[in-house]
Amino acid sequence: MLFADPLPQSHKHHWQTLECINLIGYARTSTTEQVNGLEALRVALKAIGCDNMHNKQTSATGPRRALAEALGYVRGGDILVVAKLDRLARSVGHLGEII
């Protein structure tokens, strides 16, 4: 299950009460100049309860090791959370491969 935007406050508490659910956060920015952008994504993910976060500053065409790590970490019942959907996939086709 993927969430593109932070969960509404009413949903936040619901997910946090389910002990078997792990919220795994993924954040990415394209350039090292986007330090503030990456930090904003981290803050948003932390705010909705992501304890395990994978993030990286990498080019749009380069390898995404943090994404591979996050996808490798996800287990049945876990939820991969992204603060912005365009940070997850390069295209609709790529999104289909991930899901």
Q: Please identify every residue annotated as catalytic.
A: 30
Please state, in angstroms and rounded to a whole number, the distance separating the CA atoms of residues 11 and 14: 5
Distances (CA, A) of 85 to 11, 14, 17, 69, 78: 19, 22, 25, 18, 18
Question: In which element (H, E) is residue 23 found?
Answer: strand 23-29
Please state, in angstroms and rounded to a whole number, the distance separating the CA atoms of residues 80 and 13: 17
